[in-house]
Chains A and B, each alone.
Chain A
Amino acid sequence: MAGAGKIRRIGMASVQSHKNQPDPNVPHPLVPLIFEESVPGRRGIDLAPREFGSRPAADLIGPQLCRDSLPGMPEVSEPQVLRHFLRLSQLNFAQALQFYPLGSCTMKYNPVLNDECAGLPGFAALHPHTPAHLAQGALELIAELERALMEISGMDAVSLHPAAGAQGELSGLLIIRAWHQQRGHPRHKVIIPDTAHGTNPASSALAGFDVIVARSGKKGLLEAAEIRRLMSDDVAALMVTNPSTLGIFETEIREIADVLHEHGAMLYLDGANFNALLGVAKPGDMGADVVQFNLHKTFSTPHGGGGPGAGPIGVKQHLEPFLPLPRVAKGPQGWYLDTNRPHSIGKLRSFYGNFGMLVRAYAYILALGADGLEQVSRRAILAANYVRERLREHYPSATDEPVMHECVLTHELEKKGVTTLDIAKRLLDFGIHPPTIYFPLVVHGALMIEPTETESRQHLDEFVAAMEQIHAEALEDPQLLKDAPHTLALKRIDEAMAARHPILRWQPKK
């Protein structure tokens, strides 16, 4: 067991034994709201007098569009704004600052090279309305990235259009729906396993399908027999994540694909966990008809504040005509955007995808090459299995199967009154972002840990030591965990209150 205080808070103050915790009566210097920093009349910018004089706004746009009073925005100086947001950012947990094993989300390192490439003026300053003949490089990059993803996934065509994983799911399902419709047999149901991400049933409902839940078998795997049992000629597709959210490879996937295809249904392979398969296995070979890639997970583009994501989709040849508009194509005049595609499900987003993200993913793929990408997956798998084995004594694995890029662990501390949430909150005191908790739903009190490929053994050992120390603390002094975090600006937040009575808007004090 690690001694108290032995684990350093990475990049910040060290964690002492709880007897040396900061005095709870001394308030932490919290960052005030920017509205609270407001001083009437203060301005951040200085509008110089116009050379050509000025006219009242009402003359230019009409009085009906002009307001009578100021809109109640904070009145602050430029340094105040800078300090305010920099301070807020310093309170954040971030992959660039800490170990961030948030399972399922794949918070992997985002190489600086990606940003450098996306910042090249030819990409960054490209206006979305630039005519195709002046944007040949950007269009070629799109075509090249499509080709790379086709090769990596074994699919016949790729569209980079969808702006996020969930939009990729929706696009794929709309394509499947359109395909069944075109054959004259519209279908209304999609099968989804009980281990699925919540987006799968949500996307299915949005695409107009009813959801049938498939139960995973004893080993946590989806079984072909279960799919056969649920099959009917109203089933449009099975939507399955491989490796599953339990971090295990669906070994019956080929047989499952055969069952689906025998009944005229499609296999939608959710590529949310594709980062475990690079250079190791191809969804195309598993029988997938549609797959979506989460560039912000597998291909190291940022998860910046909830976006922008990028969720390209790959399809087999028979579904290619249905891909979203426009398609990048090459003609005698060079690259152009093709919109003359009568079977397409149409446009899903303005312009073409989140282009800056596409540049980053392309840079990542080129920088690593085929061998490098395979190393990414193999190291991610090694790291997850290492953590799983090291924690086995106090945090047993939810499945006996060897894991891929993430592991789902449980614990017996509930008998001591300590919940998974308490463990997660205590990890914050060690300067570690907690794993995903209470997911997948099929595992009681789940801790879902995804170390990713870039963490060294030293960092993994620090994490293991923190988890072991927390286990010991839970036995000796459960209240220490109940009150965690102790070292952050905000202590335990009342999540139920925040959800039941959210304060969504600042209101001036009366």
Chain B
Amino acid sequence: MEIPAGLRYSKEHEWVATEEEVATIGITDYAQEQLGEIVYVELPAVGDKISKDDAFGVVESVKAVSDIYAPVSGTVVEVNQELPESPEMINEDPYGDGWLIKVKVSDASEIEDLLDHEEYEELVAAEKE
């Protein structure tokens, strides 16, 4: 299971990559592995506002339907258009082609509050017991 250094992570198993003030958000390798084969994704539209800790989308796998929680607040500037047709990209490449949305971050300090890869590794280890 992959937890790349350089990304930030939420306790709800989302990853965030920041460039300038735009954050790319996806779900982690661990999350996709737990969910199993993903069959459906519901994402916000460009221009929608999302706020930290609120659900902004839904992923449905053969096992369950799960909310995706916003790791940061901001305005959606881009949505991965290929996911609705090919949700399996999240399973195949969670940190690459399987990204979900890009957000213009409204409060940069929220990113600092997220976990780094070592802290996230500990979180996952604790969940696995």
Which residues of A does B touch, CB under 8 Å? 198, 437-439, 441, 495-496, 499-500
Interface size of B by CB at 8 A reads: 13
* A and B contact pairs by CB, cutoff 8 A, 8 listed: A439-B64, A496-B37, A496-B38, A496-B88, A499-B40, A499-B60, A499-B62, A500-B88
With a CB–CB cut-off of 8 A, which chain B residues contact A496? 36-39, 62, 88
Smallest beta-carbon distance A471→chain B, Å:
20
B71 contacts A by Cβ under 8 Å? no
Residue of A441, A495, A496 ringed by the most chain B CB atoms within 10 A: A496
B87 contacts A by Cβ under 8 Å? yes
- With A496-B88, A500-B87, A500-B88 already in contact, the answer to whether A438 and B64 are too (CB < 8 A) is yes
With a CB–CB cut-off of 8 A, which chain A residues contact B64? 438-439, 441
A464 to B112, CA, bound (A): 51
Smallest beta-carbon distance A70→chain B, Å:
35
> A198, B65: Cβ atoms under 8 Å?
yes
> B65, A495: Cβ atoms under 8 Å?
no
A437 to B87, CA, bound (A): 23
A499 to B36, CA, bound (A): 13
With a CB–CB cut-off of 8 A, which chain B residues contact A438? 63-64
> A499, B39: Cβ atoms under 8 Å?
yes
With a CB–CB cut-off of 8 A, which chain B residues contact A499? 39-40, 60, 62
A313 to B25, CA, bound (A): 43
Closest to B54 in A: A210
Smallest beta-carbon distance B17→chain A, Å:
27
Q: Which of B45-78 contact A (CB under 8 A)?
A: 60, 62-66
With a CB–CB cut-off of 8 A, which chain B residues contact A439? 64
Closest to B63 in A: A438
A496 to B37, CA, bound (A): 6
Residue of A198, A437, A500 ringed by the most chain B CB atoms within 10 A: A500
A495 to B40, CA, bound (A): 12
With a CB–CB cut-off of 8 A, which chain A residues contact B40? 499-500
With a CB–CB cut-off of 8 A, which chain A residues contact B87? 500
A358 to B37, CA, bound (A): 41
With a CB–CB cut-off of 8 A, which chain A residues contact B36? 496
With a CB–CB cut-off of 8 A, which chain A residues contact B60? 499
A319 to B36, CA, bound (A): 44
Closest to A495 in B: B62
With a CB–CB cut-off of 8 A, which chain A residues contact B88? 496, 500
> A500, B39: Cβ atoms under 8 Å?
yes
With a CB–CB cut-off of 8 A, which chain B residues contact A437? 63
With a CB–CB cut-off of 8 A, which chain A residues contact B38? 496
A500 to B62, CA, bound (A): 10
A439 to B61, CA, bound (A): 13
Query: When A and B form their complex, which 5 residue pairs have the shortest distance between CB atoms, in order from nearest?
Result: A499-B39, A496-B37, A438-B63, A495-B62, A500-B39
A158 to B69, CA, bound (A): 39
Smallest beta-carbon distance B101→chain A, Å:
21
Smallest beta-carbon distance A190→chain B, Å:
15
A139 to B64, CA, bound (A): 42
List 5 additional contacts besides A441-B64, A500-B40; criterion CB under 8 Å.
A496-B39, A496-B62, A499-B62, A500-B39, A500-B88
Chain B positions 80 through 118: 1 when the CB is less than 8 Å from some CB of chain A, otherwise 0: 000000011000000000000000000000000000000
With a CB–CB cut-off of 8 A, which chain B residues contact A198? 65
Residue of B36, B40, B60 ringed by the most chain A CB atoms within 10 A: B36
A487 to B78, CA, bound (A): 49
With a CB–CB cut-off of 8 A, which chain B residues contact A441? 64, 66
Closest to B65 in A: A198
Q: Which of B1-47 contact A (CB under 8 A)?
A: 36-40
A437 to B40, CA, bound (A): 20
With a CB–CB cut-off of 8 A, which chain A residues contact B65? 198
A500 to B90, CA, bound (A): 13
With a CB–CB cut-off of 8 A, which chain A residues contact B62? 495-496, 499
Closest to A500 in B: B39
Smallest beta-carbon distance A230→chain B, Å:
13
Smallest beta-carbon distance B13→chain A, Å:
13
A253 to B40, CA, bound (A): 37
Residue of B63, B87, B88 ringed by the most chain A CB atoms within 10 A: B63
A393 to B62, CA, bound (A): 28
A148 to B37, CA, bound (A): 46
Smallest beta-carbon distance A100→chain B, Å:
21
A439 to B88, CA, bound (A): 22
With a CB–CB cut-off of 8 A, which chain A residues contact B37? 495-496
Closest to A501 in B: B39
A439 to B66, CA, bound (A): 12
Smallest beta-carbon distance B57→chain A, Å:
15
Smallest beta-carbon distance B35→chain A, Å:
10
With a CB–CB cut-off of 8 A, which chain A residues contact B39? 496, 499-500
A500 to B37, CA, bound (A): 10
Residue of B62, B65, B87, B88 ringed by the most chain A CB atoms within 10 A: B62
